[in-house]
Structure 1
Amino acid sequence: MKLAMKYIILYVNDFDKTMNFYKEILGLPVKMQHDTYVEFDTGATTLSINTRESIKEIIGLEMPASSVASQTFELGFVVEDVVATIEMLRGLDVPIYKEPVTKPWGQTVAYVTDPDGHYIEICSAME
């Protein structure tokens, strides 16, 4: 069996705030939107958002309301300049969870959070 990651869907509490974060603050282009379901173009894997209420109605999955993300995963975005990206995000009042640091393997990483508290790694490419 060969599996290929095609998309990730984040279930969110505040659609407008989250839409603004990914579209306006992170600058991700919208590929498609239908009501509260949105797909962002991030390259080979699509990042999607939908509301917790909508997913209950559409497919019947229980998505408990939560003000805190489960923190069982993170999203990773590769950028050319981690420090400059973090400073730009700081200027837009994005919560900086971990400041940039260079790891022993040479990669620079930092962490921010989205409006629902999902971890987002901002990192340099692996050399």
Structure 2
Amino acid sequence: MKLAMKYVILYVNDFEKTLHFYQHILGLPVKMQQGTYVEFDTGATTLSINTRGSVREEIGLDVPEALSASQTFEIGFVVEDVAATIETLRVQGVTVVKEPVMKPWGQTVAYVADPDGHYIEICTVIE
């Protein structure tokens, strides 16, 4: 069996705020939208969002309400200049969780959070 990652779906609380964050602050183009389900063009793997209520109602998955911010996983975006990207996001009011640092393996890494508290790694390519 060969598996290929096609998409990741984030379950969100505030659809409009999250859509604005990914589309206008991070600048991800919308590939497709159907109600509260949105796919963003991020390259080979699609990032999607949908509301928890919609997933419960339309798909029938038992998705609980978020009682706190979700930090059980992270999504990552590769950029050329981590420090400049973090400053651009900071100016737009994005919560910076970890400032840029150079890792022992030569990669620069920083973290921000989306409106639901999902961790987003902003990093350089591992060389």
What per-residue deviation string (whole Å, max 9, x for no partner) do you get for residues 67-88 of structure 1? 4233221000000100000000
Determine if contact 1:67/1:116 at 8 Å carries over to the other structure. no
Q: In percent, how many aligned pairs have the same letter?
A: 75
For the 8 Å contact 1:107–1:124, the answer to whether it is kept is: yes
User: Could you tell me how far apart the structure 1 residues matched to 2:80 and 2:67 are?
Assistant: 32
Counterparts of 1:28-47 in structure 2, within 5 Å, are 28-47=28-47
Shift of residue 49, structure 1, vs aligned partner:
0.2
Q: Which runs of 5+ in 2 are unaligned?
A: none
Q: Which runs of 4+ in 1 moved over 3 A?
A: none
Aligned amino acid, residue 123 of structure 2: C
Contact 1:15 1:36 in 2 (8 A): yes
Return the TM-score normalized by structure 1: 0.98
| Equivalent residue number for residue 93 of structure 2 | 93
Total equivalences in the alignment: 127
Unaligned runs of 5+ in 1: none
Which shows bigger deviation, 57-66 or 44-53?
A: 57-66
For residue 40 of structure 1, what is the amino acid of its counterpart? F
Where does residue 60 of structure 2 map in the other structure?
60
